[in-house]
């Protein structure tokens, strides 16, 4: 059973230890062992969001993030446990999994509601507080790695942390979307080598989540609530089998029929649930196993680790969209060959119209042939 121990950093930010072992939990219950001795100044204020009347979208303005840490050496890593020579963001001398408020947050720490813009107004010039919260999830105390390099027991604790934080953030004022994700690799823009992910709690439903939410709602209404769009797609993919990668008792992974990226896999629960917090213990256990298997196969395609974005799409916290929403992971990579990356150029960046350089069927076959040990067998 995962033990949860909250504390505060010296600038007031919340930090939470997640421990599967009693030994680690006992360490983190000792106030002296987790005291942040850095004496940080009070954290700065919340940034802004600006409304784009041409799209109806909000853009965060977070210029303070320009000064965030960039690829520090191991002895200066802010996610490693603290030592006498490196007082990091994690005061304890060791940890299993830890979550804390991002020092360079795009949203928050203030919470609140965004203004309700009237249809007859363009909304031009509307600037307001970037309400919300951004958290860092350090997967392990080791300096290098990613989720896929974790031992199963540690990965399972991360899944429990995701569930805990999803539930807690969803209950906060003004939050409309909770988004756990992992950016992996320098080609994605990662600024810390330490194995970690993030969680964004947005004060609005982000554009892609809104688009998927609206499509899911239309389908849900069309079938009078007797099924879900994601559930129907999953059923079709499993019956076809052409793009399937992994199938378990509770989860399946497949390359989507209309994949946008050279490497794209969806990991989907068989049961309709809105978010990670709604999963049962058995479902979390299998999720851990299948996800580690999938990541090993992704790394088995090429001779070097594959850059990716692992994005957990959870149902928005808006009643009209939440009812039809369906938890799933979308893992995408811009890597289209051993030494080639796909860049978002004119069609993708300007028009949002993707052109895939690979076929989903061939990608699925390649992933099926890759073993969890990371070697291609056929």
Residue positions annotated with a catalytic role: 196
Which residues, listed in sequence order, are joined to residue 98 by a DSSP beta bridge? 17, 138
Pairing of strands 97-101, 263-269: unpaired
Q: For residues 35 and 110, is the Cβ–Cβ distance under 8 A?
A: no
Pairing of strands 251-254, 263-269: antiparallel
DSSP code string of 56-97:
TEEEEE-GGGGGS--S--GGG-TTSBPBTTB--SB-SS--SE
Tokens of 185: 């690799």
Pairing of strands 133-138, 97-101: antiparallel
- Residue 202: closest CA among 180, 221, 225, 228: 180
Instruction: Output phi, psi for 31, to 5 deg.
Output: -55, -35
Tokens of 334: 């811009």
Which residues, listed in sequence order, are joined to residue 61 by a DSSP beta bridge? 48
Q: For residues 88 and 80, is the Cβ–Cβ distance under 8 A?
A: yes
């Amino acid at each position: 059973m995962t033990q949860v121990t909250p504390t505060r950093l010296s600038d007031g930010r919340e930090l939470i230890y997640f421990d599967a072992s009693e030994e680690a939990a006992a360490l983190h219950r000792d106030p002296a062992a987790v005291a942040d001795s850095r004496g940080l100044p009070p954290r700065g204020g919340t940034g802004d969001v600006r409304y784009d009347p041409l799209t109806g979208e909000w853009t965060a303005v977070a210029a303070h993030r320009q000064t965030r840490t960039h690829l520090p050496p191991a002895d200066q890593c802010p996610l490693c446990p603290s030592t006498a020579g490196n007082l990091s963001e994690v005061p304890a001398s060791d940890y299993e999994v830890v979550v804390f408020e991002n020092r360079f947050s795009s949203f928050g720490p203030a919470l609140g509601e965004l203004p309700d813009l009237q249809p007859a107004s363009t909304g031009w010039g509307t600037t307001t507080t970037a309400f919300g919260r951004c958290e860092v999830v350090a997967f392990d105390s080791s300096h290098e790695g990613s989720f896929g390099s974790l031992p199963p027991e540690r990965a399972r604790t991360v899944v429990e942390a995701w569930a805990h934080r999803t539930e807690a953030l969803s209950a906060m004022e003004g939050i409309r979307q909770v988004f756990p994700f992992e950016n992996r690799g320098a080609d994605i823009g990662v600024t810390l080598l330490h194995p970690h992910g993030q969680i964004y709690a947005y004060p609005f439903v982000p554009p892609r989540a809104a688009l998927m939410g609206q499509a899911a709602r239309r389908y849900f209404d069309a079938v009078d609530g007797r099924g879900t769009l994601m559930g129907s797609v999953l059923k079709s993919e499993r019956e076809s089998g052409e793009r399937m990668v992994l199938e378990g008792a509770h989860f399946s992974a497949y390359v989507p029929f209309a994949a946008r990226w050279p490497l794209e896999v969806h990991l989907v629960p068989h049961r309709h649930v809105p978010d990670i917090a709604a999963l049962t213990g058995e479902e979390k256990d299998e999720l851990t196993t299948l996800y580690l298997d999938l990541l090993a196969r992704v790394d088995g395609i090429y001779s070097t680790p594959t850059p990716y974005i692992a994005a957990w799409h959870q149902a928005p916290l808006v009643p009209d969209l939440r009812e039809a929403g369906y938890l799933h992971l979308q893992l995408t990579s811009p890597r289209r060959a051993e030494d080639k990356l796909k860049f978002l150029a004119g069609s993708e960046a300007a028009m949002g119209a993707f052109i895939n350089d690979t076929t989903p069927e061939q990608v699925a076959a390649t992933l099926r042939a890759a073993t969890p040990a990371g070697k291609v067998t056929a």
